[in-house]
Structure 1
Amino acid sequence: MRRSGPVRALLAAAAAAAVSAGLVVAGGGTAQAAAPASRAPMPAHVVAPYYETYNGGSPAALAAQSHNTYLTLAFLQTPAAGSCTATWNGDPTTPVSKSVYGKDIAALQSRGGDAIPSFGGYAADSTGTDIADSCTDVQSIAKVYESLVTTYGVTRIDLDVEVDALSDTAGIDRRNKAVALVEEWAQRTHRTVQFSYTLPSTTSGLGATGLAVLQNAVANHARVDVVNIMTFDYYDGAAHEMATDTETAAAGLHAQLAALYPSVPSARLWGRIGVTEMPGIDDYGPAETFTTADAATVEHWAAAKGINTLSFWALQRDNGGCPGTTGAGVCSGVAQSDWFFSHTFEAFAHPAWHWDNGRSTGPAHKSAPHQVGRGRRM
């Protein structure tokens, strides 16, 4: 993602349900004191906007205001290239510790949600400070990933690989080897650990370098639970209808996953896909504007396809405080009510809910701004 600034044992029934849903998870065993190992895996449909940790504030507080129960916390990186220690935003004063975001993550979990710590991102991936690019010892990388699980009790880790990290073949190989080691560790210690890859996308699927990341994962026997594509910042000079482009990008990814995992049924492949939007005007400019109507269209499409994750970059942008502003970090650049995109995507995680004249029948809030989608516009 582009950004500014420095950047439980599972019960047998739960494990069986997860396997039948197409997720491979650890099951059984006894919880350990360091972090509960009995937390269930994430549900099949999750809304998890990114939260920019480098801008400060309380993730749990903003999640409560916006009615989000899951957040992706971005980012973790090393303080300097060559280091094998990951800290929040690469800041040595914000280590992976219960004293840093521990209360926020526990608050999300107490509400029935969770946090997804994310490694990498644009700043780290362009400076060699993503842990897998920075550290040359696979065991050390794996220990860093494991520390997120033992410290915070989280069940999913996101790996955001873009820009220079996409061409660092040694880093890609180390990262996937570390993922495989963590998955073996989770099996032994009866923990749930999922990994998602967040990758840039074209309007027709992953580019060659992004696909190579997944091909290397297959070669290293690293299970990738979710492939999350960034359906924005195409930078191709074309005019875009962003909802349509999300659908074609995800369809292309589905075809690529089918080639990588030929024995996996189509529906389960859709269940391994995530999409991340940028509300409003993205970094490229007005030609790439994800509108409020696009949000409704994508939510309906995502529910129909049964994808795994809907996300957007970032929660701090989900307001209309700067209409007409391009690529702003604290607002969408389009006219909207506060938390419009959060509230619209919320229905994806609660398929029994429906909207009636802008009012949600769901229990999370009495009313929410909502715009009826223009329907499928392709």
Structure 2
Amino acid sequence: MKRLPVSVAIGALAALACAGFVATPANAATSAAPTPTIVAPAPLPLHFSAPYVDVTAVDSLSAAAHDSGAKYLTLAFLQTEAPGSCDLYWAGNVAAPVSADTFGAEINAIRAAGGDVIPSFGGYAADTTNTEIADSCTDVHKIALAYEKVITTYKVQRLDFDIEVDSIGNAAGVDRRNQAIRELQGWALKNRVPLTISYTLPSTPQGLGATGVALLQSAAKYHAYIAAVNIMTFDYWDGLTHDMVADAKTAAAGLVQQMRQTISPYTPSALLWFKVGIIQMVGIDDFGPEETFTADQAAPFVAWAKSKHVNSISFWALERDNGGCPGVKGSWNCSGVVQQPWAFTRAFAGFNGWWI
């Protein structure tokens, strides 16, 4: 999934730096502010909606959560600043390290309102520039330590890995990532740290492509336990006109069978649906009007997802959930369809819960 265009993001970061912000637009701490003590979250429910938000695209994560009604957010993205590095930064920006000073106060505010955040690694920009950490860093232990630092710094209970484009085809990086996840899970078990792992992967209307299946085969090989696989049911780029809800349904059904063949060979199909995550792109996706997920489709999609007991639903991206640019495809800050502000977020919020 794509972040804010680099030129726009750099301009936003520079403007906020001049205004006294020390890292990214969503960082509430100034140079004079004390380092916040990050509070622990309440457990994530069995089923939840966690829209992605580009951390360079909003002025405040907590304000965006409050205004939209999104209880849970997936924060995009963590990556290295350059190929060869083993250090993580938000959006690859060295001024935004993994630190309580970066987003700590924002995360506290979200948790005080009963929500939580899920850090996501990778994304389109990292996955095409060799700055996804498992592509960038060749030391499995250092990768695992970088993941561990994210957990101990922000007290998060779930990590998401958005692996696509070049990264999903990088077999060495895929193996390193899964080995590092397995090492991380050993550390979490030893230290009684609650942790779940999800992968976010590109999809066809029939399920994962060959590289996605190979990634799950690698996870099985290295005994990395994957709690959920989130399929991106958009950007098919096949030149066809799609019903984005119907295709999400067939993609999810295909994924269930692919998980049985790879990471969960002995799990009954009914329970495999609990490992399914589905990510839409609200409005017109990057391909164009042939791939449009409308606001009217959101409620039926959520109802279907509840009926199948999937683990999570999400969308790209929170900052796009408005009708400010009707007819525009793939915009970073609006959906391209006529809609009320936060229409998708509020429809998806009905998915949150402990229901069985």
Q: Give the alignment's TM-score, normalised by structure 1.
A: 0.83
Aligned to 1:291: 294
Shift of 1:276: 0.6
Say yes or no: does 1:262 pair with 2:265.
yes
Let me know the Cα RMSD of the aligned residues: 1.7
Say yes or no: does 1:279 pair with 2:282.
yes
Aligned to 2:341: 338
Aligned to 2:15: none
Aligned to 2:24: none
Say yes or no: does 1:239 pair with 2:241.
yes
Aligned to 1:107: 109
TM alignment of 1:54-203, pairs within 5 A: 54-203=56-205
Shift of 1:50: 0.3
Cα deviations by residue, 1:183-229 (Å, 9 ceiling, x for unpaired): 00000111111111000000000000011111100000000011001
In 2, Cα distance between equivalents of 1:214 and 1:259: 9
Bigger Cα displacement from structure 2, 162-171 vs 257-266: 257-266
Shift of 1:113: 1.5
Instruction: Look up the equivalent residue of 2:5 and give its one-letter code.
Output: G
In 2, Cα distance between equivalents of 1:119 and 1:197: 10
Change (3 A) 1:320 1:36: closer
Aligned to 1:248: 250
Kept in 1: contact 2:52–2:317 (CA 8 A): yes
Shift of 1:268: 2.1
Kept in 2: contact 1:66–1:343 (CA 8 A): yes
Cα deviations by residue, 1:247-291 (Å, 9 ceiling, x for unpaired): 010010011112221211223211111011111100000000001
Kept in 2: contact 1:40–1:192 (CA 8 A): no
Aligned to 1:309: 312
Aligned to 1:368: none
Cα deviations by residue, 1:270-323 (Å, 9 ceiling, x for unpaired): 111101111110000000000112211210110000001110000000011111
Kept in 1: contact 2:232–2:279 (CA 8 A): yes
Q: Secondary structure, in 3 states, of the residue corresponding to 1:43?
A: coil
Shift of 1:139: 0.6
Instruction: Look up the equivalent residue of 2:257 and give its one-letter code.
Output: A
Cα deviations by residue, 1:159-184 (Å, 9 ceiling, x for unpaired): 00000001111100000000001100
Cα deviations by residue, 1:11-43 (Å, 9 ceiling, x for unpaired): xxxxxxxxxxxxxxxxxxxxxxx9889755421
Aligned to 1:367: none
Change (3 A) 1:237 1:207: same
Q: Give the alignment's TM-score, normalised by structure 2.
A: 0.88
Q: Secondary structure, in 3 states, of the residue corresponding to 1:271?
A: helix
Kept in 2: contact 1:54–1:89 (CA 8 A): yes
In 1, Cα distance between equivalents of 2:354 and 2:172: 42
Instruction: Look up the equivalent residue of 1:4 and give its one-letter code.
Output: L
Instruction: Look up the equivalent residue of 1:121 and give its one-letter code.
Output: G
Instruction: Look up the equivalent residue of 1:148 and give its one-letter code.
Output: V
In 2, Cα distance between equivalents of 1:40 and 1:216: 32
In 2, Cα distance between equivalents of 1:244 and 1:41: 32
Change (3 A) 1:36 1:63: closer
Instruction: Look up the equivalent residue of 2:240 and give its one-letter code.
Output: A
In 1, Cα distance between equivalents of 2:332 and 2:353: 28
Shift of 1:325: 1.1
Aligned length, in residue pairs: 326
Bigger Cα displacement from structure 2, 324-333 vs 201-210: 324-333
Instruction: Look up the equivalent residue of 2:235 and give its one-letter code.
Output: D
Instruction: Look up the equivalent residue of 2:2 and give its one-letter code.
Output: R
In 1, Cα distance between equivalents of 2:194 and 2:337: 39
In 1, Cα distance between equivalents of 2:301 and 2:163: 24
Kept in 1: contact 2:40–2:155 (CA 8 A): no
Aligned to 1:4: 4
Kept in 2: contact 1:35–1:152 (CA 8 A): no
Change (3 A) 1:128 1:267: same
In structure 2, the gaps of 5 or more residues are: 10-35
In structure 1, the gaps of 5 or more residues are: 8-33, 353-378
In 2, Cα distance between equivalents of 1:39 and 1:312: 22
